[in-house]
Amino acid sequence: MKKVLVIDDSAFMRRLFTKTINNDPELEVIDTARNGKKGLEKIKKLNPDVITLDVEMPVKNGLETLEEIVKMDDPVQVIMVSAVDNRETVLTALDLGAFDFIPKPSGSISLNIDDIKESLVQKLKTAANYKGSKVKDKDDFKKPEPVTYKKPKRKIKKTKGDFPIIAVGSSSGGPKALKKFITAFPNDFPGAIIIVQHMPAGFTKSLADRLDQESNLNVKEAEENDSLKPGLTLIAPGGKHLEFDQKGKITLNKKDTKWGVRPCVDYMMETLAPIYKENIIGVILTGMGHDGAEGMEEIKKYNGYGIVEDKSTALVYGMPSSTIKKGAYDDILPLNEIPAQITDIIERRF
Strand order in the sheet with 192-197: 218-221, 232-235, 192-197, 165-170, 280-284, 305-309, 331-333
Mean pLDDT, rounded, for 298-309: 98
Task: Return the pLDDT at 170.
Answer: 98
CATH fold, domain 2-128, is Rossmann fold (3.40.50)
Please choose, from the candidates 81, 76, 114, the residue with its C-alpha nearest in 3D space to the C-alpha of residue 100.
81
Catalytic residue among 291, 310, 330, 331: 291
Active site residue 171: yes
Question: Running DSSP on this structure, what letter comes out for residue 71?
Answer: T
Reported as a pLDDT band with limits 50, 70 and 90, residue 162 is: confident
The whole-angstrom distance between residue 316's C-alpha and the CA centroid of its chain comes to 9
Task: Return the pLDDT at 135.
Answer: 39
How far is 3 from 51, CA to CA, in rounded Å?
A: 8
Reported as a pLDDT band with limits 50, 70 and 90, residue 348 is: confident
Reported as a pLDDT band with limits 50, 70 and 90, residue 74 is: confident
Q: Which residue has the higher pLDDT, 110 or 216?
A: 216
List, for residues 243-279, the tens digit of each pLDDT value.
999 999 999 999 999 999 999 999 999 999 999 999 9
Looking at the chain, the whole-number percentage of residues with pLDDT higher than 70 is 88
Burial class (CB within 10 angstroms; exposed 0-12, middle 13-18, buried 19+) of 2:
middle
What Rg, from alpha-carbon coordinates, does the chain have? Answer: 20
Active site residue 241: no
| Coil vs helix vs strand at 265 | helix
Q: How far apart are the first and last CA of the chain?
A: 53
The answer to whether residues 269 and 295 touch, using CB atoms and an 8 Å cutoff, is yes
Domain at 165-349: CATH code: 3.40.50.180
What is the location of CATH 3.40.50.2300 in the chain?
Answer: 2-128
Task: Return the pLDDT at 112.
Answer: 65
Active site residue 133: no
List, for residues 118-153, the tens digit of each pLDDT value.
889 999 999 999 865 443 444 444 443 332 323 334
Task: Return the pLDDT at 132.
Answer: 59
Reported as a pLDDT band with limits 50, 70 and 90, residue 86 is: confident
What is the location of CATH 3.40.50.180 in the chain?
Answer: 165-349
The answer to whether residues 303 and 140 touch, using CB atoms and an 8 Å cutoff, is no
Catalytic residue among 82, 171, 321, 322: 171
Task: Return the pLDDT at 75.
Answer: 86
Catalytic residue among 54, 119, 170, 198: 198
- With a threshold of 0.75, does the pTM exceed it? yes
Task: Return the pLDDT at 263.
Answer: 98
Q: How are beta strands 2-7 and 280-284 bridged, if at all?
A: unpaired
The answer to whether residues 116 and 16 touch, using CB atoms and an 8 Å cutoff, is no
Mean pLDDT, rounded, for 41-57: 96
Task: Return the pLDDT at 104.
Answer: 83
Looking at the chain, the whole-number percentage of residues with pLDDT higher than 90 is 81
